[in-house]
Amino acid sequence: QLYQIAEELYNTKLAIKVLEEANTIPGAKKVLVKFRLDFDNRDFVFSRSEKRTSLERLSLPAVPCSVLMTLFPFGIVFGEDMRILAAGEKLLQICGTCPEALLGQIITDYFKLRRPRGIPFTWKKCMF
């Protein structure tokens, strides 16, 4: 069946080698067989590399911050000056503040970086 499928569907020559054959339970009719399939796979590998290259060149449209905060309700966005630019709805609920009270504040006044330990919570350290 494998030879037939390879030739008719994929127009490929196939070489099959039995690597290992064993009974799963002694005396039972079930047999475990390991095969090695050798065939020319260059077209598939080439097509995958073409897709990867085209994805690398793909540019996505800008996403509004409000969409991100909806998708990540516990998310927080802060700028290079370490001031909070946006926060997710659930994070604001936990903090018990209205958005205006938190936005524009210095992030280190409200949040602490716990992991990784020993890393200062600065813009330079956050932008690896």
pLDDT recorded at residue 51: 64
More confident residue, 12 or 101: 12
Confidence of residue 115 (pLDDT cuts 50, 70, 90): confident
How wide is the angle at C-alpha 15 spanned by C-alphas 11 and 21, nearest 5°? 135
The model's pTM: 0.49
Each residue of 36-87: pLDDT tens digit? Answer: 999 888 887 777 776 665 556 667 788 888 888 889 998 888 888 999 988 8
User: Which residue matches tokens 């990540």?
Assistant: 72
Neighbour count for residue 84 (Cβ, 10 Å) = 19
Each residue of 11-40: pLDDT tens digit? Answer: 888 999 999 888 767 667 777 888 899 988
